[in-house]
C-alpha cells in the first residue's frame, strides 16, 4: 500500500480503529455495535440464507494504488455478484481486513467511506469481522449473506440440452480496463472517453443485483462471470454434464471494448477470457426465454442470448459468424 499523507495508524489501538471506522457501519441490530465476539444473524420467516465469500489481494485483484473507497466497494460488489447469480437479495456481510506496514488513517477513512456508500446503496449491513496486521500485501475477505424466498436456487449443475444461454451487461470491460489502467496492450491509443469507461469498469464493477428475481424465476443454472466468460461457461457446463454452442458475434461488447478490439484483434480473446466482468451467466429453458428477457428488461438489466446448451460432455464450441469454430489459448484467469 503506498504511503498516503495523514496520521500514522500506530497511535490507534485495534478497538479504537473498529469503533472509529467500522462500528458506524454496523447498522444491523445483530451486530451489537461490533462490541461483542459474535453477531446474531436473523433470517426472516419464509426466507432462506445464501452464503458466499471472496478474498481480494493487492497486486492480484486490484492495484495497491487504486482509490481506497473503490477497493472497498469492489470487495463488496464481487460478493454481491455471487448473490445475484443465485437469485438472492443482499442482507449482511462480515469483513476481515489484513493491513500491511505503512497504513494511514486517511486511507482507512476513505476505505470505510466506500463501505458505507455501497452498504447504503445495496441494503448491505456490516455484521462484524476482524482486523489484523500482515507482513504481506493488503488482503480483504468478505463473507456475504443473501436471502431468497426458496431453497431451489439456480446452481451450476441445472443446465439441460435445449436451454438458452444468456449473459447480462457486457463482457470484457474489466479485463481491458486493467490493461488500460496499467498502460499495457497499446490501449493508450484509445479515445479518452473509452479509456475512462474501461478503467471505471475495472475499478468499480456493477453487480447485477436487480436481475436476481428474474434469475430465481427462470434460470435452470446460473453463476457469476468473474474469471472469464470462456472458462466460467466451461465450469457451468461441466457441473451440468452438458456442452454448448456459443455464437461469438452475439457476445455483447461495449463500444469501448469494440474500439479496443479494433486496435488489436488479440484483445477480443482477452475480453472473453480475462475476467473481472462480474456479470451473470445463466441457462434458461427454451420456452421461458421471452419471459426472462421481458422480466430482465422490466428490472432494468440488459441480457443477451449467446448460445444453446447441447448434449454431450465435450467442451463448448465457440462459433464465428461463418460457422467456423474458434479455439482460445486459455479459458480464464486462474490463481494456480
| Residue 103, domain CATH | 3.30.1330.10
Is 118 labeled as ligand-binding? no
What is the DSSP secondary structure assignment for residue 39, as one 8-state letter?
-
Do 138 and 166 share a domain, yes or no? no
> 445495496: which residue's cell?
122
Is 69 labeled as ligand-binding? no
241, 283, 220, 222 alpha-carbon torsion, rounded to 10°? 90
Half-sphere exposure of residue 303: CA atoms within 13 angstroms, side-chain side: 32
Do 143 and 215 share a domain, yes or no? no
Do 133 and 240 share a domain, yes or no? no
Which domain covers residue 121, as residue numbers?
A: 9-148
Do 25 and 126 share a domain, yes or no? yes
Do 160 and 305 share a domain, yes or no? yes
Q: Per DSSP, what are the bridge partners of residue 283?
A: 165, 221
Is 82 labeled as ligand-binding? yes
318: burial class by Cβ within 10 Å (0-12, 13-18, 19+)? Answer: buried
Do 139 and 19 share a domain, yes or no? yes
Q: Quick one: which of 252, 238, 255, 246 has its CA closest to 301?
A: 252
Q: What is the pLDDT of residue 332?
A: 53
Residue ranges for the chain with pLDDT beneath 50: 1-7, 335-336
Is 276 labeled as ligand-binding? yes
The string of DSSP letters for 108-127 reads HHHHHHHHHHHHHHHT-EEE
Is 287 labeled as ligand-binding? no
Q: Is residue 333 part of a domain?
A: no
Do 100 and 168 share a domain, yes or no? no
Q: What is the pLDDT of residue 188?
A: 87
Do 175 and 133 share a domain, yes or no? no
Threshold 0.85, pTM exceeds: yes
Is 164 labeled as ligand-binding? no
197: burial class by Cβ within 10 Å (0-12, 13-18, 19+)? Answer: buried
User: Quick one: which H or E segment has residue 12?
Assistant: none
Q: Is residue 332 part of a domain?
A: no
In the chain, how many domains are there?
Answer: 2
Q: Is residue 334 part of a domain?
A: no
Domain boundary, last residue among 122, 148, 174: 148
Look up residue 130 and give its three cell numbers: 476482524
Q: What is the pLDDT of residue 192?
A: 96
Is 27 labeled as ligand-binding? no
Q: What is the pLDDT of residue 10?
A: 52
Is 54 labeled as ligand-binding? yes
Domain boundary, last residue among 113, 148, 183: 148
Q: Is residue 331 part of a domain?
A: no
Do 296 and 193 share a domain, yes or no? yes
Do 121 and 200 share a domain, yes or no? no
Look up residue 273 and give its three cell numbers: 477470457
Tell me the C-alpha to C-alpha distance, in Å, between residue 140 and each of 75, 130, 137.
Answer: 7, 10, 10
Rounded Cα–Cα distance for residues 91 and 125 (Å): 7
Q: What is the pLDDT of residue 152?
A: 86
Q: Is residue 3 part of a domain?
A: no
Q: Is residue 184 part of a domain?
A: yes
Q: What is the pLDDT of residue 2?
A: 44
Q: Is residue 72 part of a domain?
A: yes
Domain boundary, last residue among 148, 179, 205: 148
The string of DSSP letters for 273-328 reads HS----EEEEEE-GGGHHHHHHHHHHTT--EEEEEEEESSSSPPEEE-TTS-EE--
Q: What is the pLDDT of residue 185?
A: 83
Q: Tell me the pLDDT tens digit for each residue of 162-207.
A: 999 999 999 999 999 999 999 988 898 899 999 999 999 999 999 9
Q: Is residue 115 part of a domain?
A: yes
Half-sphere exposure of residue 79: CA atoms within 13 angstroms, side-chain side: 30
Do 118 and 217 share a domain, yes or no? no
Rounded Cα–Cα distance for residues 227 and 231 (Å): 7
Rounded Cα–Cα distance for residues 236 and 160 (Å): 11
Is 226 labeled as ligand-binding? yes
Q: What is the pLDDT of residue 6?
A: 39
Q: Is 142 left (phi over 0), alpha (psi -120 to 50) or beta?
A: beta
Write the CATH number for 179.
Answer: 3.90.650.10
Do 179 and 233 share a domain, yes or no? yes
Is 157 labeled as ligand-binding? no
Rounded Cα–Cα distance for residues 59 and 278 (Å): 19
CA angle 118, 155, 210 (to 5 degrees): 30
Amino acid at each position: 500500500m503506498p504511503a498516503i499523507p495523514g496520521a500514522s495508524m500506530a497511535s490507534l489501538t485495534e478497538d479504537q480503529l473498529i469503533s472509529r471506522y467500522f462500528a458506524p457501519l454496523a447498522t444491523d441490530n445483530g451486530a451489537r455495535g461490533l462490541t461483542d465476539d459474535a453477531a446474531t444473524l436473523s433470517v426472516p420467516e419464509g426466507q432462506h440464507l445464501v452464503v458466499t465469500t471472496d478474498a481480494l489481494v493487492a497486486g492480484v485483484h486490484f492495484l495497491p494504488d487504486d482509490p481506497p473507497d473503490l477497493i472497498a466497494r469492489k470487495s463488496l460488489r464481487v460478493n454481491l455478484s455471487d448473490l445475484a447469480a443465485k437469485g438472492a437479495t443482499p442482507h449482511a456481510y462480515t469483513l476481515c481486513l489484513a493491513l500491511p506496514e505503512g497504513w494511514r488513517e486517511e486511507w482507512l477513512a476513505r476505505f470505510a467511506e466506500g463501505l458505507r456508500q455501497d452498504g447504503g446503496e445495496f441494503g448491505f449491513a456490516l455484521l462484524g469481522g476482524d482486523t489484523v496486521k500482515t507482513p504481506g500485501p493488503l488482503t480483504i475477505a468478505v463473507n456475504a449473506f443473501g436471502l431468497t424466498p426458496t431453497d431451489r436456487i439456480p446452481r451450476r449443475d441445472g443446465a439441460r440440452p435445449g436451454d438458452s444461454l444468456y449473459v447480462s451487461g457486457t463482457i470484457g470491460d474489466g479485463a481491458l480496463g486493467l490493461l488500460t489502467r496499467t498502460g499495457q496492450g497499446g490501449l493508450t491509443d484509445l479515445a479518452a472517453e473509452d479509456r475512462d469507461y474501461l478503467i471505471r469498469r475495472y475499478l468499480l464493477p456493477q453487480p447485477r443485483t436487480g436481475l436476481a428475481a428474474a434469475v430465481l424465476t427462470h434460470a435452470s443454472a446460473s453463476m457469476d462471470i468473474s474469471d472469464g466468460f470462456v472458462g466460467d461457461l466451461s465450469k457451468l457446463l461441466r457441473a451440468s454434464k452438458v456442452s454448448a454452442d456459443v455464437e461469438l458475434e452475439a457476445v455483447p461488447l461495449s463500444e469501448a471494448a469494440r474500439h479496443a478490439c479494433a486496435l488489436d484483434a488479440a484483445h477480443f480473446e482477452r475480453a472473453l477470457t480475462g475476467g473481472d466482468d462480474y456479470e451473470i451467466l445463466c441457462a434458461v429453458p427454451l420456452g421461458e426465454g421471452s419471459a426472462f428477457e421481458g422480466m430482465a428488461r422490466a428490472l432494468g438489466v440488459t441480457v443477451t442470448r449467446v448460445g444453446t446448451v447441447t448434449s454431450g460432455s465435450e467442451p463448448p464450441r465457440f462459433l464465428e459468424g461463418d460457422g467456423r469454430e474458434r479455439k482460445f489459448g486459455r479459458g480464464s484467469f486462474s490463481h494456480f
